[in-house]
Every structure is written in C-alpha cells, then in structure tokens.
Amino acid sequence: MKKQDIALKKNSIIDSIKNQNLYDAFKQLRAFSESQMTWEITDEITRLEESYRYMLDYAIRGIADPSRKQVYEGLVAGMLTILNRLERHAMTPETPSLYYNTLRYRSHAASGSIPEYLRRYSRLASDSSLFNLVKDGRNDAADQNNRKREAVERDLFDALWVTFPLSVADYEALTEALASDVYPDYFKQLIINGVLLGALEFYDSRRVQILARVYYSGSEKLAPIALVAQLLVLYKYRNRTLDKQALDAVRLMPDNPAWHSDLKEAFLELVRARDTERITRKMTDEVLPEMIKLRPELNRKFKDLGEISDAIEMEENPEWQEMLEKSGIADKLKELTEIQLEGGDVFMSTFAHLKSFSFFNEIANWFMPFHSDYSDIASMPAELAEVARLIESTPVFCNSDKYSFVLSLQSIPQSQRELMKSQLNMQIDGMLEMQRESLDESRTSRRSVMNRYVQDLYRFFKLFRRKAEFDDPFVSDLNLVTIPALRGQFRDSDTLKAIAEFYFRHKYYGDAINIFKVIEENTYPDGQLFEKMGYCYERTGNIEEALRYYEQAELLDAGSVWTLRHIARCHRLLGQPAKALEYYRRVAEKEGDSESIQTVIAMGNCYLDMAQWGEASGQYFKARYLDEKSTRVIRPLAWSLLMQKDFMRARELYDEILKLNPTADDYLNMGHLALAVHDHDNALNFYKLSISAGDGLIETFASRLIADAKALETVGIDSEIIPLILDSINYSER
C-alpha cells in the first residue's frame, strides 16, 4: 500500500474520531485491518466495538454511569493505538527509512525480545564484574565480554525503538531493570533514550508510564532526563487524549519533591535549545571569521616576540587585549561566555564537524552516555585512555561531544597529549570546584544533567546522517504550557517569567507572547507586562493588538514616554497620522526643553503623511538645526519643499542627496523636480537613472510613477504626461 493511501485512510479515521462518529471510525478501522489480513487486530477491533455498543446501550436506556467519560476516552485511546498498529503494518514492507529497515531486519533475523536482552545483559554484566577482579583489570576475555555487552546494548536499543506497542512483559522487565542496582546508570539512561525514541514514532501508553515512574523514583541522574523525555513525548501528543493509566502516572510526577524546580529547569533547557542555531550562527558568521582575519597580525606579533617561555605573561600582555577589543572579538567572546554561563550551547558549531566518525553511523551510539570503559576508548593507548577518563568527569560537554573529542584525539601528535592532559586536569578541577561551591550542589547537578541531555538530543536530531527521517521536536516552539496533562503545573509566575524573558531577550517574540498571555491570565494588570506584550505584537506585525496593549499600559502608567512613543508609532502604521501626531505632541511636552530630534522627526513625518507640507518642513528644519551633521531628514525635507513648489531649496537638497548614495526613489523624485521646472531632458535622464538603480524593469518604474500622479498634480504637472514619459523612455531604450 502506498504511503499516500495510508495517510488518507489514517486522516479519515482520525477525522471520524474527532467528530465523535465512532461508528464510522470502527467501520473504517475494520476495513483497513481486513485489507491487510491482520486478523488478530480485527478481533481486537471487534472486542473494542462491543464495549462501545454496551456503553451506548446503557446511555440510551438512561442508566447513570459516572465513569462513562473515562470509558469513552479509553475506547478512543484504544482505537488510536490500533490505527497506529495498522499504519505501521502497512508501512513495514516497502518503506526505506531506517526505522522500518530496522523493524524488517529484526523480524527476519528472529531477534530477541526486550526481556531476553535484559537477561542476557545481566549475565554479561555479572561476568564483567568477575573479569574486573583479574590482575591489571583487563585481559582478552574481559575485552571480548565488553564487546558482547555493547552489542546487546545496541540490540536492546533497537528493540526499544521499534517495538510497538510495548507488551505487559516488556513493561514489567523495563521497570524492574530501571529500579535495579544490577545495571549501571549509563545503561539505564540508554533504556530511557530507547523508550523516548520509540515514543516519538508512535504514542505508547506504557512508555509514558515508564518515564513517569523513573522520574517519580527521584534518582539524581535518571529523574532529570526522564522528565525531559516525558515533556517531549507529552508535547508531541498534546492534542491526543491520554488513556487513564498514562494520565494517572503523569499526575503522580508532581509528588516528587523536586518537581517545581525540575519542571522550571527542564522547560528552560528546552527553550534554550531553540537558541542554539542563533549561537552557532554567531560563532560561524561573527567570531571565527574575525579571528581568522586577526591571524596574520597575531603571527607577526609572535614572530616579533621570538620564543615566548611564559604563556601566562603572553596572555596578560595588554597589547593582545587591545587588539581583541579593537576587532570587536572581545565583546563577542564576552557575550558567548555569558551565554555559556546561562546554559546556552556554545559548542554545537565546534563539534558538529566531528560527527563523521563511523561510531556515529550507529543510531544507538548517539544515545549512549559517555563512559571510558567503552571498548573503542578503553583500547586506546594509555595516555589517551587517561584523557578519556578526565573527559568523563567534565560537567561541560554533553555525551555526544565527549565521544567526538576523544575519538579525535588519535589524530593529535603524542608530544601534545601530555600538555592537553595537564590543561584538562586544571580546567576540570576548576569546574568541579565551582560546582561544589554552588549554594545548592544538588540543584546545580540536576540542571547540568538536563542541560547536557538536551544538547545530546539536539545533536542527534540536527546532525545524524539520516535526520530527515525523524520528527524533530526542536523544530517547534516547544511551548509546554499547552500540554493538557500538565494543565495547572505552569502557574508558577517565576517559572513563566523566566521563560518569557528568555524568549523576549533573544527576540523570539511570537513564543514570548504565548507565555506572556498565560502570565496575564493569572496575575493582576501590570503596566510593564502590557508594554512587553505590545512590543512583541508590534515586532510580529500585529499592530492592532500592539496598540491595544500599549493603551492598557498607558492607563497604568500615563507618564511613560516610551509607551506614548510606541502608541504614536502604531497609529501611524495603521494609517492614522493625526492620532499619531497627538501622542507625539504629548511626548514633546514631557521632554520639554530637551525635546529629542527623534520626536521632532516623528512629528514631521506625521505632517508629511497628512500632506501638511509647511508644518512638515518646519519640523525637519528644526531637526537639522538640532543636529547639523545629520542626513536623516534630508529626503523628507526635500520632498516637502518640492510639494510646496519651493523648487530652488528642494534642488539644493537633492544636490546634497546626489553626494550621498542615491536610491531609485531619489532619482525618481529628482525627475519630478526637473519636470516641475520644465527641464524635460534632465527629467528623462533622472527617470532612466531610477530604472537602472532599481530592478531595471520599466514596468516597476511605471507603477511607481503612476503612484506619484497626485503628487505631480500638486506641483502643477498634468498627469496626462505620464504615459508620454513612459513611451518616450521606451523609444529611447531602443
């Protein structure tokens, strides 16, 4: 069956369910199942439909049933799961994606089940513990055992990813493994990752329950990542009614004492991930190019200094600092440092180029927590293995970047490895000391775990070689406030304000609006909040809403010049220059003798919009008096003088404009001036220059000339000359 046909069937069934026409939905489900000859699923559809008919019978007979809504929602959840199973079954034979390739391979190879893999891993882990008692801690048998264990880890991850839905046996085996002390934490995290990746393919109630249980357990290392994973799953299926078991499990999560602080941090980390692309652009487009430009000068300075024995002395040389400050790099590096301290991902651009190792061809390896016992790392030369152990303890890099870093070490000359090791030792000790000195080390640790986990996920969805086959959760705005299952959990004003301010500060105005709205609904009227909402709406182009919020802000703080100025600007953008002028006058009154040039120009623009040329030119002359060197008003002043038929002074200004950087509109207006004083030859020359300075199309020029017809009549030019001008230009172009 073609993918397109499957999608049509799926959408039709979903529409019937949404419209509460379950009769039709059951009919379509049965036909879909029978067409694929999945008789086991057909039997399940029959049993589910019988339950629905019983419910209908009770309802029609008027029998009170307080659990009817819950039963109905359970039926809908069951139908959607069946629909996913049918979709998956239909897609399996021919879909070339990695998911279905893996699913087909596992089916044909008669691979083990999830419980079997867990039992096998448990045996290998026990054997590994025995091998570690051997002298020197390593031998060929131990290495072989490790590689077998890693193969089981990959197989288990694949099974977790493509098994749908998880069976009761799968669920029990996984929950037992995640609660057991037999398995190492990195292996448990791999399980959580497999649960997440599978859940992002198809909704699975038991996966939601597993993530909820791990978070509820309160593990310092696992609970934070389980929460992040859960939030991604719940956000993806926010428009889907959760079954009772999943919903009950999610409602237990707030019983974890760290819930509110964890939820805030998880939300912020997911929000920060949205900013990674901007940070990466800053690194690649601003910082690195500037550093490359400085390289010749740095090389010359090094040459001049000869051999430098004291690196610290070189770093403290004020000449270097001055060079960085003049280039602007110092400010950019300072900003990046602040971004990093805030939790921003400044390493994406650095490590994106180090994901070409064969290690990253295996999907499970993107989700494997870094540990120096990994066979490919443990088998490295001793000094590299030691560096790997140092990297393992650093709280800065995410797991994916740690693997990239260590795998790339093999290309570094041996002479530099010892120096790198000593530098890493110092830096890691410093970072760990800072973490220990934190007022709340536990809180810092959980935040750090979430930060690195989100970065790992982000790298997979952005850098994996077959990333296009996955539904990237970081493409959307991840507004967790919209998750129905967590309704009421985001009422903490501090959390919402922190998230909204992050969006606002980094210019994600649409996302900021969504959060500000929630704050508005749950707080008393606040002038500053309304100002920010107005500004967000203004920046996203919704001027009517921007004006509404600015006016509310003014009611609460009538003395804000900033608010009055933006109200005026909105009125002008809405084509209401008279109202805009009224507010600019109020701004001018508040500014008094220190009236700003910005206000004067704005008032001139309002007069210009109202075709009050004399008043407009008066404001522009005033602006020139306030700042003689400014060229900001030269164009509108020249136009207002032209419209007053003050051709001589207008010509003086247009001569000034010629010395600047004339635009197509400048040449057009100069042509109008020449035409007004009957200098037809110059008029045609300026019009031709306007065409050349624009897109070169006479059609574009014609539309702009026709748009100025009324203005031409103002200065005494008959609009009937316009077609003659156009024809004249056409003939002259031949």
Output the pLDDT for position 286: 67
Answer whether residue 321 shows pLDDT above 60.
no
For residue 287, give the DSSP letter.
Answer: I
* 494 Cβ contact partners less than 8 Å away, ≥ 6 residues apart: 264
- Distance from C-alpha of 43 to C-alpha of 49, rounded to nearest angstrom: 10
- Distance from C-alpha of 231 to C-alpha of 250, rounded to nearest angstrom: 10
Output the pLDDT for position 443: 63
As a whole number, mean pLDDT of residues 64-93 equals 93
- Distance from C-alpha of 517 to C-alpha of 533, rounded to nearest angstrom: 8
Output the pLDDT for position 135: 44
Query: Would you kindly state where each structural domain of the chain is located, as residue ranges?
Result: 3-95, 100-256, 276-307+318-343, 661-734
Q: What is the mean pLDDT of the chain?
A: 87
The amino acid sitting at 200 is L
- Distance from C-alpha of 218 to C-alpha of 252, rounded to nearest angstrom: 12
User: What digits encode the pLDDT tens for the residues 475-487?
Assistant: 887 888 889 998 8
Output the pLDDT for position 308: 46
For residue 241, give the DSSP letter.
Answer: P
What is the CB-side half-sphere exposure of residue 158 using CA atoms within 13 A?
Answer: 22
Output the pLDDT for position 417: 63
* 663 Cβ contact partners less than 8 Å away, ≥ 6 residues apart: 693
- Distance from C-alpha of 314 to C-alpha of 447, rounded to nearest angstrom: 36
What is the CB-side half-sphere exposure of residue 682 using CA atoms within 13 A?
Answer: 13
Which of residues 292 and 10 earns the better pLDDT score? 10
Tokens 């941090």: give the residue. 265
The pLDDT-based confidence of 494 (bands split at 50, 70, 90) is confident
Q: Give yes or no for a cis peptide into 93 (omega within 30° of 0).
A: no
As a whole number, mean pLDDT of residues 142-159 equals 91
CA dist 640 to 118, 332, 595, 610, 618, Å?
82, 43, 22, 11, 10
Which of residues 459 and 558 earns the better pLDDT score? 459
Answer whether residue 32 shows pLDDT above 60.
yes
For residue 285, give the DSSP letter.
Answer: I
As a whole number, mean pLDDT of residues 368-396 equals 83
Output the pLDDT for position 388: 84
Q: Are 215 and 225 in contact (CB under 8 A)?
A: no
CA dihedral angle for residue 720, residue 721, residue 726, residue 729, rounded to 10 degrees: 170
For residue 254, give the DSSP letter.
Answer: G
Output the pLDDT for position 476: 81
Answer whether residue 84 shows pLDDT above 60.
yes
- Distance from C-alpha of 610 to C-alpha of 600, rounded to nearest angstrom: 16
Output the pLDDT for position 314: 43
The pLDDT-based confidence of 313 (bands split at 50, 70, 90) is very low
- Distance from C-alpha of 30 to C-alpha of 42, rounded to nearest angstrom: 6
Of 149-163, 291-305, 533-547, 575-589, the one with minimum mean pLDDT is: 291-305
Global pTM reads 0.81
- Distance from C-alpha of 452 to C-alpha of 157, rounded to nearest angstrom: 20
Output the pLDDT for position 310: 47
As a whole number, mean pLDDT of residues 14-34 equals 95
* 411 Cβ contact partners less than 8 Å away, ≥ 6 residues apart: none
Of 373-382, 530-539, 658-667, the one with minimum mean pLDDT is: 373-382
Most confident of 493-502, 564-573, 652-661: 564-573
Tokens 């300026």: give the residue. 686
**Alpha helical stretches, state H, 610-720:** 613-626, 634-643, 647-659, 664-676, 680-693, 698-707, 709-714
Burial (CB count <10 Å: 0-12, 13-18, 19+), residue 228? buried
The pLDDT-based confidence of 335 (bands split at 50, 70, 90) is low
Give the count of beta carbons closer than 10 Å to the beta carbon of residue 463: 18
The pLDDT-based confidence of 472 (bands split at 50, 70, 90) is very high
The pLDDT-based confidence of 309 (bands split at 50, 70, 90) is very low
- Percent of the residues in the chain that have a pLDDT greater than 90, as a whole number: 59
Output the pLDDT for position 138: 53
